[in-house]
Structure 1
Amino acid sequence: MNNKVILCVDDDEIILNSLEMQLKEHLGDHYMYEFAENADDAMEILDELENDGYQTLLVVSDWLMPGLKGDNLLIKIHERFPNVVKIMLTGQADEEAVERSRKEANLFACLGKPWETNDLISTIKRGLQTAV
């Protein structure tokens, strides 16, 4: 059973579906994939995974979401799970939010939307290498 997890957080279901297809195509079944449409769901999933003995290696999060924005979510994740690699995927994050995420959440990378699949996958692979 695979207990290594990648979590994707975005309020747009189309984005989540696209991420799921690309991750499965390029990373196969080496990881378990989880998806959340907002920060509250993401934190709940992370807690459940931890309680069930899964190890979340990496989180890919949108920035502009209803409720808690991505930078605040990543900071919250960092406080609870400092070893999780954090990647922001956004079309709208301001530089301040990205910089704050770098400082306070140890942001690994920030990619723009729309993204190039190869950029996304190579960034995730690099991030996973630092997580293992």
Structure 2
Amino acid sequence: MNKPVILCVDDEVMILDCLKRQLKTEFRNTYVYELAENADEAMILIEELEKNKSEILVIISDWLMPGIKGDEFLIGVHQKFPDIIKILLTGQADEKAIRRANTQANMYCHLCKPWSATELIETIKSGLKTISKS
């Protein structure tokens, strides 16, 4: 059986590397950590993971990326995969985009950059508890 997946989406490779390092430090080999540099790449990855019967539990997405903004991406994900925990991690999103992600993507949480590793991990853990209760 495939390990569940946490997907990180950001156009900055340094951010993706940092997120993966923080996640692996906390969760070790419990999950597979996938990285995408934009929303289009992430959607292709999501479809591949779905074909392979891999369960995506959490998506952590930046807002300001080339092409599709993070709120639009999370709304698109939510329409196909409503049970995925969606976290917007950004320093640039406006209030309107955050409200849209909350209402149309059922966003679990919005975290600001620079983020605290502790806050990120606790947010993920609390989000995962909501899945296990369903």
> Do Structure 1 and Structure 2 share a fold, with TM-score over 0.5?
yes
Contact (CA 8 Å) 1:9, 1:38: kept in 2 or not? yes
Identity %: 52
Please give the residue correspondences for 1:58-97 in structure 2 after superposition, counting only pairs within 5 Å: 58-97=58-97
Q: Deviations over 1:58-87 (max 9, x none)?
A: 100000000000000000000011110100
Match status 1:104 vs 2:104: yes
Maintained 8 Å contact 2:2/2:53: no
**Conserved 8 A contact 1:3-1:53:** no
Equivalent pair of 1:2/1:30 in contact (CA under 8 Å): no
Per the alignment, residue 123 of structure 1 pairs with 123
- Report if aligned partners of 1:2, 1:31 keep a CA contact under 8 Å in 2: no
TM-fit CA distance, 1:131: 2.3
1:39-58 aligned within 5 A: 39-58=39-58
| Residues matched between the structures, number | 132
Tell me, what secondary structure is at the counterpart of 2:108?
Answer: strand
State how far apart, in whole Å, the 1-side matches of 2:2 and 2:30 are.
Answer: 7
The answer as to whether partners of 1:11 and 1:65 remain within 8 angstroms in 2 is yes
| Structure 1 residue identity aligned to 2:73 | L
Tell me if the contact between 1:88 and 1:111 (Cα under 8 Å) persists in the aligned partners.
yes
In structure 2, the gaps of 5 or more residues are: none
- Partners in 2 of 1:101 and 1:47 — Cα distance? 21
Q: Is 2:25 aligned against 1:25?
A: yes
Q: Residue type of the partner of 2:40? A: D
TM-score by length of 1: 0.97
Indicate conservation of the 8 Å contact 1:90/1:113, yes or no: yes
Cα deviation, residue 96, structure 1: 0.4
Change (3 A) 1:52 1:2: closer
CA distance in 1: counterparts of 2:2 and 2:94, whole angstroms: 36
- Give the C-alpha shift of residue 3 in structure 1: 2.4
| RMSD value, Cα | 0.8
